[in-house]
Structure 1
Amino acid sequence: METVQRPLINKQKISLKGKIKRYFLTLLRLTDQPMVKVYRGFGNDKRLTIYGHVFRQSALPRKKYRDINLVNLLAVLRLFLVQPYPHAMVRVRFGKQLVQVQTDVDGYFQLDLPLTQPLSPGWHPVQAQLVSQTMTPETVLAEGEGQVLIPHPTRFICLSDIDDTFLVSHSATIAKRLLVLLTENAHSRRPFDGVVAHYQLLAEADSGISASNPFFYVSSSEWNLYDYILEFSRKNGLPDGIYRLSPLKRLSQLLKTGKGKHLTKVDRIVQIINMYPNQQFILLGDDSQQDPIIYESIVQRFPNQIRCVYIRQVHAEHKARTESLMAKIEAIGVASCYFAHSADARQHSVDIGLVAT
């Protein structure tokens, strides 16, 4: 179900300078071959949202997870050495439908594809190709494959932040965040105690037989960390889901990692809620950054579509502000839980009838 990327290797002769560059790229496990990356998309019975990146230079997938600080450091740094392919022409194929879209300055592409007929619930394949705009005849430079999810018509959809919501990240302190990010890896890092069990219960809450509630993970973490987060989630047994991350950052912007813009995260959440007007949402976040403010504004905008808001307490300085926002959420008639331990959030889910004991 994961993204498949196939660079179409250029077999022309390489200059000495090119060979030296290729040697150092190989040492860093980078490739300078064009690459198309298709992320997990999503849709309903009328349309699909498909998105991805095209890169001139990108990191090769990590295969071994040795918990050595220097190895972990290099493995993360190379994720920020990507070079996007701006204004590239991408041909997206879904079934018999074929659409062309151009990447933006960050090599990112996104399109809404109308459906000619409803699809069955589950994952469906999608292909994308990078097409040369200068070569004749038309040449495919790279291709990638991904998946789009049509959720089952369950009652609930879960929408969760990532950093300090289920992944211990120290987002409120940049020095601590960088230390953890640069010295550990997707296998050595740990989720908060009890959070996986809680999420697994929410995935099955009132979902019916042979179905589960879909999870959307919307974060200020950058697309650079997509594979890193995906591997962490898989390794720790978190519910499979869709990831909506923040724009790419370069190595020079590493100190700003995890600091996405407030409005872009709101926009991503609103897009998801609008896609599924007949389902209710369970929102999960933490108080280290803007989640309480964002979720309160979402509840104000969609009071009938939000079933419950969970906020993890990780930053003592934000406690008074968060309690005030949670009181506003409750006043609107939406259940909320401000908790320090996942066991308390799980018990709250039992108390309000979301999950069974």
Structure 2
Amino acid sequence: MSLLKKDPLQIIAFQSYGTRTHFYLRGRALEDENIDLQQQGLLRLLINSWKRIESDEIKNVDVNIKLSDGTIISTKTDDHGYFIAEFTHKNLLELANEEGWVLAEVSYGEMKMKRTIQKGNLFPAEVLIPSRKVEFGVASDIDDTILHTGVVSRLKWKLIYNTFFKSAKKRKSLEGAAEFYHLLHRGVSGTNANPIFYVSHSPWNLYLYLELFLRQNNFPKGPILLRSFEYFTSRKKRRTGPRKKHEITNLLETYVDLPFILIGDGGEHDLDIYMELAKQYPNRVKAIYVRSVTHRKKMLRIKNLIDNYKDVPVLIVDNSQQAMDHAREHGFIKSL
């Protein structure tokens, strides 16, 4: 934390998920460095990108979470400003709206230091509690699955340019992706609220950026599951396994009666992870969709992986229409 500048404090509560009786919320306490996600100028975009990476966290402070029924839980931030709050509740569905979101307020507890706190020390939080009427869940990658990033470009220069020199407002989704996700969200009846979970290798520092992108491009609202920047830059992932697999495993373990559709792209190792999960959790994966990328060697590897694979329907798609046609054929979304 800078000793020369004392920015006001904020809390970013990440959209999280739970069950009827289990409340779970992640978030982070930070200095508010006045990052304007609507800015378009090149210099300003670069400054904002640097601020997202070089965040000033508020570590080892008390944080309180209050639900609409008056329930309060307290927790503490860690050395990187992150916090996790979880507790058992008699029935969270009673507090949820028709889409399954439970609203809460997050605030700083008593602090030894005198600091200005934004928004009157009341920051909004949302936790998704899927209803019992849902048919399935969707776990989707973000990069090159719904958002053009250029992850397979030489030296990843497109990924770097798009992330640091383009505003979230200017980023465009892959054609038809938002429509497909809304159809999955509504299910075969057209009236369901199947939960959508966005899982990415990106660090939590990009949370607000990705949230704005999803909102600007009219994707269904859903928890965004990222990873800490320390994990992103370390070799820890080699010992603990891919973070994406860990997050989707948590979903499968949390919703033990809910099957999932898994969506990713051919640029990384999404299909490897998804096929492994389908093997570990028999009858829990309804289908796997893989977005093709413009990389011949990577796509050849993907096609070799699915040759003679019969466990779960796997479809390589060049566009969203192909995925929609397949989903209708298999009864995942409403027929025309």
TM-score, normalising length: structure 2: 0.85
Cα drift, residue 165 of structure 1: 0.5
Match of 2:324 in 1: 346
The amino acid that maps onto 1:294 is I
Name the residue aligned to 1:181.
163
- 1:222 corresponds, among 203, 208, 214, to 203
The alpha carbon displacement at 1:242 in A equals 0.9
Q: Which residue of 2 aligns with 1:32?
A: 7
1:45 aligns with 2:45: no
Shift of residue 300, structure 1, vs aligned partner: 1.0
Aligned with 1:170 (options 150, 157, 167): 150
SS of 1:83's equivalent in the other structure is coil
Q: Deviations over 1:287-329 (max 9, x none)?
A: 111211111111111121111111111133212322233347x
The letter of the residue matching 2:38 is K
Find the counterpart in structure 1 of residue 184 from structure 2: 202
Counterpart in the other structure of 2:46: 73
> In structure 2, what residue type is equivalent to 1:267?
H
**What does 1:78-97 align with in structure 2 at a 5 Å threshold?**
78-94=51-67, 95-97=69-71
Tell me, what secondary structure is at the counterpart of 1:282? Answer: strand
Say if 2:140 is the partner of 1:160: yes
Q: Which runs of 4+ in 1 moved over 6 A?
A: none
Deviation string, structure 1 residues 162-199 (Cα, Å, up to 9, x no partner): 01110000123422211111221112111112212221
Residue 108 of structure 2 is matched in structure 1 by: 130
Larger strand proportion, structure 1 or 2? 1
Query: Which consecutive unaligned segments of at least 5 residues does structure 1 have?
Result: 1-16, 23-30
List per-residue Cα deviations over 1:263-285 (Å, max 9, x = no partner).
32212111112221222211111
Kindly indicate whether the alpha-carbon contact (under 8 Å) linking 1:313 and 1:319 is maintained by their aligned counterparts in 2.
Answer: yes
Unaligned runs of 5+ in 2: none
How far is the alpha carbon of 1:116 from its aligned partner? 2.0
Show CA shifts across 1:2-58 (max 9, x none).
Answer: xxxxxxxxxxxxxxx97xx55xxxxxxxx7223222111211112021110012x34
Same amino acid, percent of matched pairs:
25
The count of corresponding residues between Structure 1 and Structure 2 is: 319
Distance in 2 separating the partners of 1:207 and 1:271: 27
- 1:208 deviates by 5.4
Distance 1:134 1:64 in 2: 34
- Specify the code of the residue in structure 1 equivalent to 2:264: G
Q: CA separation in 1, counterparts of 2:51 and 2:196?
A: 29
Aligned partners of 1:288 and 1:318 also within 8 Å? yes
- 1:296–1:326: 8 Å Cα contact kept in structure 2? no
RMSD: 2.9
| Counterpart AA for 2:43 | L
Task: Give the conservation status (yes or no) of the 8 Å contact 2:37–2:209.
Answer: no
Contact 1:158 1:282 in 2 (8 A): yes
Shift of residue 88 of structure 1? Answer: 2.4
